[in-house]
């Protein structure tokens, strides 16, 4: 249910009071933040090692025209000691978020990193609820075509950082947290060190250790709705195959944009990123009910 006091007031020095509209909804024990008054809703899902605050600047840019819904993934809230979550559990949480905050609507998904995997699987399982998708920096990662394009060094780098984070999750505690923060620093993650913990690495443990059933139930993603794919060009390797982006770019209503950034495109080039997303949302018709 929504938390009372969806209107908050803040004081600026020598300035009058102003009001900012927001709502917090509790879904599966997770706080979901809702902002904006647009007729269409954009549901935002982050990845490692982030929280809903990854989208702060994006929400500020979009909320005048779109309703923005975001939350911190299960297990990524360091204020509570948490466990690993299966693919089915995370997708079902996303389903509950959409059902409770956007009843009767088809929504646009805005996804990054692990949020892409969970969001893409949600779109495959619940196609009637998704009208458009914005994917950020993760395309067909792990597919045969993608694996074929990765060189030996790139494959070794992927294996190294993912197993490191999976092991950090397994060890947990102070050592696990230090390992997670060390990897985040090495990867130049924008998140503050104190907001990063070993428990956030459970998707890597699901992937490599088969925790919570692994990702064997994940289906290859082939978007059935218009999709905007934005990716960072300044990385040692890509998380998509060239064949995948070429095919996506040829689809009516879809678009592929590479920006001179690293993995955190929405932060490295926030103005360019937000402008691309807003322009595409405004100019692309959502998929109609099928």
Sign of the CA dihedral with 233 first, then 238, 244, and 246 last: positive
Q: pLDDT class for 33, splitting at 50, 70, 90?
A: very high
In a domain? residue 276: yes
**Residue span of the structural domain in which 51 resides:** 7-149+220-283
pTM reported for the whole predicted model: 0.91
In a domain? residue 160: no
The mean-pLDDT minimum among 81-85, 88-92, 135-139 falls in 81-85
In a domain? residue 172: no
Q: pLDDT class for 11, splitting at 50, 70, 90?
A: very low
Q: What is the mean pLDDT of residues 213-218?
A: 96
Q: What is the mean pLDDT of residues 27-34?
A: 94
Q: pLDDT class for 7, splitting at 50, 70, 90?
A: very low
Using alpha carbons only, give the angle 133, 68, 52 rounded to the nearest 5 degrees.
Answer: 90
In a domain? residue 175: no
In a domain? residue 43: yes
Give the pLDDT confidence score for residue 80 in this predicted structure. 84
| 30 or 285: which leads in pLDDT | 30
Yes or no: say if 26 and 32 are a contact pair by the CB < 8 Å rule. yes
pLDDT at 290 over 80: no
What are the counts of helices (DSSP H) followed by strands (DSSP E) for the chain? Answer: 10, 10
In a domain? residue 245: yes
Cα distances (angstroms) measured from residue 258 to each of 103, 136, 239: 34, 10, 12
Strands 23-27 and 30-35: antiparallel
Yes or no: say if 112 and 136 are a contact pair by the CB < 8 Å rule. yes
Percent of the chain with pLDDT over 90: 87
In a domain? residue 170: no
* Cα(110)–Cα(116) distance, integer angstroms: 8
> In this structure, how many other beta carbons lie within 10 angstroms of the beta carbon of residue 283?
9
pLDDT at 213 over 80: yes
Q: What is the DSSP string of 57-99?
A: HHHHHHTTTSEEEEEPPTT--TTS------HHHHHHHHHHHHH
| Predicted confidence (pLDDT) per residue in 153-179, tens digit | 999 999 999 999 999 999 999 999 999
Give the pLDDT confidence score for residue 21 in this predicted structure. 66
In a domain? residue 154: no
Give the pLDDT confidence score for residue 288 in this predicted structure. 66
Yes or no: say if 6 and 23 are a contact pair by the CB < 8 Å rule. yes
| Predicted confidence (pLDDT) per residue in 259-284, tens digit | 999 999 999 999 999 999 999 999 98
Number of compact structural domains in the chain: 1
Percent of the chain with pLDDT over 70: 92
pLDDT at 36 over 50: yes
pLDDT at 8 over 60: no
| Predicted confidence (pLDDT) per residue in 14-24, tens digit | 333 334 467 98
* Cα(260)–Cα(265) distance, integer angstroms: 8
| Predicted confidence (pLDDT) per residue in 124-136, tens digit | 999 999 999 999 9
Cα distances (angstroms) measured from residue 117 to each of 114, 139, 203: 5, 9, 10
CATH code: domain of residue 61: 3.40.50.1820
């Amino acid at each position: 249910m929504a938390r009372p006091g969806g209107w908050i007031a803040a004081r600026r020095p020598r300035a009058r009071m102003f009001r900012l509209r927001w709502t917090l909804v509790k879904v599966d024990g997770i706080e979901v933040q809702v902002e904006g008054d647009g007729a269409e809703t954009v549901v935002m899902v982050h990845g490692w090692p982030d929280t809903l605050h990854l989208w702060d600047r994006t929400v500020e840019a979009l909320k005048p025209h779109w309703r923005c819904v975001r939350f911190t993934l299960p297990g990524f809230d360091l204020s509570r000691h948490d466990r690993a979550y299966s693919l089915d559990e995370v997708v079902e949480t996303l389903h509950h978020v959409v059902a409770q905050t956007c009843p009767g609507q088809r929504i646009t998904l805005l996804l990054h990193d692990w949020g892409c995997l969970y969001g893409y699987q949600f779109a495959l399982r619940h196609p009637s609820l998704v009208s458009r998708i914005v994917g950020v920096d993760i395309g067909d990662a792990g597919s045969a075509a993608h694996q074929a394009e990765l060189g030996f060094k790139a494959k070794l780098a992927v294996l190294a950082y993912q197993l490191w984070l999976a092991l950090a999750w397994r060890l947990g505690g102070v050592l696990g947290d230090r390992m997670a923060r060390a990897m985040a620093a090495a990867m130049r993650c924008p998140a503050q060190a104190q907001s990063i913990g070993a428990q956030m690495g459970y998707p890597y443990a699901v992937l490599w250790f088969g925790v919570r059933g692994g990702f064997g139930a994940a289906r290859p993603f082939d978007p059935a709705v218009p999709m905007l794919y934005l990716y960072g060009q300044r990385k040692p390797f890509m998380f998509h195959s060239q064949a995948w982006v070429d095919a996506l770019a040829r689809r009516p209503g879809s678009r592929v944009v590479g920006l001179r950034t690293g993995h955190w495109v929405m932060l490295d080039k926030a103005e360019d990123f937000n402008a691309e997303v807003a322009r595409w949302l405004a100019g692309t018709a959502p998929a109609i009910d099928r």
